[in-house]
């Protein structure tokens, strides 16, 4: 396996990603879409998810394909970003056809960034407009780090962000991941230099620091994030939300299996993960461009690759975060500028 040419989820041909953010708000939205509807499913392992239209992604539900997926900051307010995407799709005449009616199907998930130092005193919910802007900005190239849904994200010790990575399997199948990184846990080991995901890094894509040589890691749970928010008594201001995608022709049930496998990528890159205060969620996407020759074997490798991509994408999000006025936590580069 090797990364695709862009090392982004858009190495899966046909997929596009758009970001929109407000730096004063310290929040934003990321949209994944395509010119054609795609098969999608979802799996949730966090204890505090915030979602829209995810029930229809269960394998037993009748609608197999959707037009877009949304990752957004803003907690419950951010779910309205999906409405902005629906507006954009309706303008283009895209959606599920029921008689004369067109219904754009846009599931989404949110992370909590309401206490990150940005100005949240709006009188009109800004996320519908951010969702529309992100949809209209969608393309094959997009920014990582402090961008889109990752604009205001925080890990326990450092700024979080938006990450992406890809792999091309030996048979030519492409797998990619896109993630907003805002967990309760840490993405780096104590000292902020080494990433938990270091063993999966390819060609120095998040700094090349290598694995932490110390043993007995994971027992200390120091959190600058919790200290910064302690005045608000917030233990649920968290979540890692992600999308994994492939060009392999998967059914909705097979997509869900890919999402389940991909959650291992969160656990390998974030300590702890899947807590009661996280809303950890993984959407999964198939564009259906490549038939599988051996479905059981191929799906195993696709799930494995999705987990690898997600671990790397999480580390890339934190590595590429940039400082901004009013930040509560340092970026990885600031913490390691000594």
The tens digit of pLDDT for each residue in 196-236 reads 999 999 999 999 999 888 877 776 777 766 666 665 545 55
Cα distances from 228 to residues 143, 185, 237, 331, in angstroms, run: 27, 14, 11, 15
Q: Which residues of 202-240 are buried (b: 16+ CB within 10 A; e: fewer)?
A: eeebbbebeebeeeeeeeeeebbbeebbeeeebebbbbb
The tens digit of pLDDT for each residue in 134-149 reads 999 999 999 999 999 9
By C-alpha distance, which of 233, 125, 134, 234 is closest to 182? Answer: 234
**Residues ≥6 apart with Cβ < 8 Å to 123:** none
pTM of the shown model: 0.94
The tens digit of pLDDT for each residue in 279-307 reads 899 999 999 999 999 988 999 999 999 99
What average pLDDT is seen over the chain?
92
pLDDT of residue 118: 87
The tens digit of pLDDT for each residue in 12-68 reads 999 999 999 999 999 999 999 999 999 999 999 888 889 999 999 999 998 879 999
The SS3 of residue 160 is coil
């Amino acid at each position: 396996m090797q990364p695709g040419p862009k090392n982004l989820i858009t190495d899966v041909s046909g997929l596009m990603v758009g970001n929109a953010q407000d730096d004063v708000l310290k929040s934003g939205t990321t949209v994944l879409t395509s010119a054609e509807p795609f098969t999608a499913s979802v799996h949730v392992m966090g204890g505090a998810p915030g979602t829209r239209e995810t029930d229809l992604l269960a394998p037993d539900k009748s609608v197999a394909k959707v037009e877009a997926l949304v990752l957004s900051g803003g907690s419950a307010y951010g779910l309205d970003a999906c409405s902005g995407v629906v507006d954009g799709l309706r303008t283009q005449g895209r959606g599920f056809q029921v008689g004369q009616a067109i219904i754009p199907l846009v599931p989404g998930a949110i992370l909590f960034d309401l206490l990150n130092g940005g100005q949240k005193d709006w009188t009109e919910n800004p996320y519908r407009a951010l969702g529309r802007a992100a949809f209209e900005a969608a393309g094959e190239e997009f920014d990582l780090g402090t961008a889109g849904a990752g604009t205001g994200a925080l890990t326990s010790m450092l700024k979080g962000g938006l990450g992406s990575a890809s792999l091309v399997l030996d048979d030519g199948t492409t797998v990619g991941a896109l993630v907003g990184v805002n967990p309760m846990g840490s993405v780096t080991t104590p000292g902020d230099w080494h990433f938990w995901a270091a063993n999966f890094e390819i060609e120095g894509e998040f700094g090349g620091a290598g694995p932490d040589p110390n043993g007995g890691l994971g027992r200390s749970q120091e959190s600058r994030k919790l200290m910064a928010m302690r005045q608000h008594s917030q233990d649920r201001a968290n979540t890692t939300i992600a999308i994994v995608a492939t060009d392999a022709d998967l059914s909705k049930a097979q997509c869900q299996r890919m999402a389940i496998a991909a959650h291992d990528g969160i656990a390998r890159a974030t300590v702890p993960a899947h807590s009661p205060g996280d809303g950890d969620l993984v959407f999964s996407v198939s564009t259906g461009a490549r038939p599988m020759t051996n479905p059981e074997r191929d799906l195993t490798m696709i799930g494995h690759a999705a987990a690898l991509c997600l671990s790397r994408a999480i580390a890339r999000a934190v590595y590429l975060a940039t400082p901004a006025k009013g930040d509560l936590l340092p970026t990885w580069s600031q913490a390691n500028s000594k």
